[in-house]
Structures are given as structure tokens and as C-alpha cells.
Amino acid sequence: MSLSNARWFKSSYSGSEHACVETAFLDDGRVAVRDTKNRDGGTLIFTPAEWDAFTADIADHKFVG
């Protein structure tokens, strides 16, 4: 899958920091996520349902150590 036309963005909370992730909403409804420090290091691709579940878990603090 080519992501050359993806429009990547990062959270406005990131400011000028480079230690964050970028997200792109793809034309087919999937969501791509990559590391800003290593943009060529790989990309996670979520279906809409997976993205909804992931962001819901973040909101529920399920990934806090």
C-alpha cells in the first residue's frame, strides 16, 4: 500500500516536539500511524473499528503503566 499521498498530522499538543506520532486518515477509512523520529521505520494501519477501540482504550487510561 502506498502512503505517498497521505496527509500526515500530529496533535496540536505536540508543539514543536519531535518525539510524537503522526496520523493520517486514509481515503478508504483506515487510519495510519507512524513515529515522527523514524518515518520510514514502519506504519501501523487500523481499520475504523480498530481505531475506535484503540482511542476508546486511550480515553479509558488502559495504557497507563
Q: How far apart are the C-alpha atoms of 46 and 54, rounded to whole Å?
A: 9
The residue with greater pLDDT, 39 or 29, is 29
Whether this model's pTM surpasses 0.95:
no
> What pLDDT does 59 receive?
93
Residues with Cβ within 8 Å of 24's Cβ and at least 6 positions away in sequence, in order, are: 3, 6, 7, 8, 9, 31, 32
The full set of domain ranges for the chain reads: 12-59
In the block, cell 520510514 appears at 40
Report which secondary-structure segment, H or E, holds 49.
Answer: helix 48-59
Q: In a 3-state reduction of DSSP, which class is residue 14?
A: helix
